[in-house]
Amino acid sequence: MILRERLTAAGGLDGLFLSDHRSRQDLAGIVSGDPDAAVTAALAGRRVLLAVGGQMAAARAMIALDGLAARLALVPPKLAPEHIARIAHDSEAEICVSDAEGLAPEALPGLARIDAADAVRAGAETPRETEWALATSGTTGAPKLVAHTLEGLAGGINTAAAPEPGTVWSTFYDIRRYGGLQVFLRAMLGPSSLVLSDAGEPVRDYLVRVGTAGVTHILGTPSHWRLALMSAALDRLSPRYVRLSGEIADQNILDALRDAFPEARIAHAYASTEGGVGFTVEDGQEGFPASLIGTRAGIEITVREDSLFVRSGRTGRRYLGAAPEALIDADGFIDTGDLVELRGERYHFLGRRSGVINVGGAKVQPEEVETVINVFPGVSMSRVRARPNPILGAVVEAEVVLRADAGTDQAALKKAIIAHCRPRLAGHKVPASVRFVDTLPITSGGKLVRRGA
Amino acid sequence: MSLRETVFAEIAAIAAEQEKAMPPITDDLVMLDTEFDSLCFALLVARMEDLTGADPFSEMDASDLPVTVGDLVALYDRAAARQAA
Q: What is the pLDDT of residue A1?
A: 86
Q: Tell me the per-residue pLDDT of A379-391, one tens digit each, with 9 for 90 and over.
A: 888 899 999 998 8
The answer, yes or no, to whether residue A100 has pLDDT greater than 70, is yes
The string of pLDDT tens digits covering residues A195-216 is 999 988 888 999 999 999 999 9
The model's pLDDT over A124-182, given as tens digits with 9 standing for 90+, comes to: 778 899 999 999 875 456 788 999 999 999 988 887 778 888 999 999 989 999 999 99
Of the ranges A42-56, A132-146, A304-318, the best mean pLDDT one: A42-56
- B48 touching A, CB under 8 A? no
Average pLDDT over residues A240-244: 96
- Between CA A263 and CA A105 the distance in angstroms is 49
Residue B43's closest chain A neighbor by CA? A432
Distance CA A64, CA A52 (A): 14
The kind and range of the H/E element at A97 are strand A95-98
The mean of the pLDDT values for chain A is: 90
Span B53-84, pLDDT tens digits: 888 887 766 566 788 999 999 989 988 888 88
Closest CA of chain A from B29, distance in Å? 11
Q: How many angstroms separate the CA atoms of A394 and A401, rounded?
A: 22
Whether residues A227 and B41 touch (CB distance < 8 A) is answered with yes
The answer to whether residue B33 scores a pLDDT higher than 70 is: yes
Residue A344 has pLDDT above 60, yes or no: yes
pLDDT band at A355 (very low <50, low <70, confident <90, very high): confident
Q: What is the pLDDT of residues A400-425, one digit of tens each?
A: 999 888 888 999 999 999 999 999 99
pLDDT class of A453 with cuts at 50, 70, 90:
very low
| Percent of the residues in chain A that have a pLDDT greater than 90, as a whole number | 60
pLDDT the model gives residue A75: 95
Given an 8 Å threshold on Cβ–Cβ distance, is A202 in contact with B34? yes
Cβ neighbours of A359 in B, within 8 Å: 39, 42
Does A392 sit within 8 Å of B39, measured CB to CB?
yes
pLDDT (mean) for B32-52 = 90
Partners of A115 in the beta sheet?
A98
Confidence of residue A220 (pLDDT cuts 50, 70, 90): very high
Q: Are strands A131-135 and A71-74 parallel, antiparallel or unpaired?
A: parallel
Q: Is the pLDDT of residue A231 over 60?
A: yes
CA A107 to chain centre: 24
Residues present in chain B in total: 85
**CA of A397: which chain B residue's CA is closest?**
B46
pLDDT at A443: 62
Kindly state the average pLDDT of the residues A345-354: 86
C-alpha distance from residue A174 to each of A34, A88, A111, A250 (Å)? 28, 19, 25, 23
Is A286 in contact with A341 (CB distance < 8 Å)? no
The vertex-A358 CA angle with A101 and A355, nearest 5°, equals 130
Predicted pLDDT of residue A376:
92
Residues A276-296: pLDDT tens digits? 888 999 999 999 999 999 988
Question: What is the distance between the alpha carbons of residues A76 and A65, in angstroms, rounded to a whole number?
Answer: 17
Asked if B65 has any chain A CB less than 8 Å from its own CB, the reply is: yes
Q: Which residues of A touch B45 (CB under 8 A)?
A: 389-391
Secondary structure (DSSP) of A337-352 = EEEEEEETTEEEEEEE
Q: How far apart are CA A286 and CA A347, in angstroms?
A: 9
Is pLDDT of A41 > 50?
yes
Side chain identity at residue A319, one-letter code: Y
Note whether B54 and B76 are within 8 A (CB).
Answer: yes
Within 8 A of B42 by CB-CB distance, chain A residues are 359-360, 389, 391-392, 395, 432
**pLDDT at position B61, please?**
62
Distances (CA, A) of A396 to A90, A359, B45: 30, 8, 13
